[in-house]
Amino acid sequence: MLLFIVVFMIIINLLMSIGKDNYVDITGHIGGALCGLFWGMAFFPRVNHPSALKLKKVGLVLISLFFILFTTLFFTVRTPPP
């Protein structure tokens, strides 16, 4: 049920960003969805099982890489002047 709600909310969020307003960038929604997914993989409470521990480690690595990449791109990519 939780997976259905998460997928449903992602679809609704992406559909609302495609609407009439062109002020919202869809890449921001996709980045937020990925960050939320990685964050959930890292910190969502689960039972003590070896595969759960592996999933938690994968989530921690992915969220760390996401924040390192975001910080690097934020401070290095420059937009050309108009």
Mean pLDDT of the chain: 76
19 token code pair: 């609407």
Burial of 82 (0-12, 13-18, 19+ CB in 10 A): exposed
CB 34 within 8 A of CB 55: no
* pLDDT above 80 (res 64): yes
pTM: 0.49
| pLDDT tens string 20-60 | 566 666 777 777 777 887 787 777 766 777 777 887 788 88
The whole-number pLDDT of residue 63 equals 83
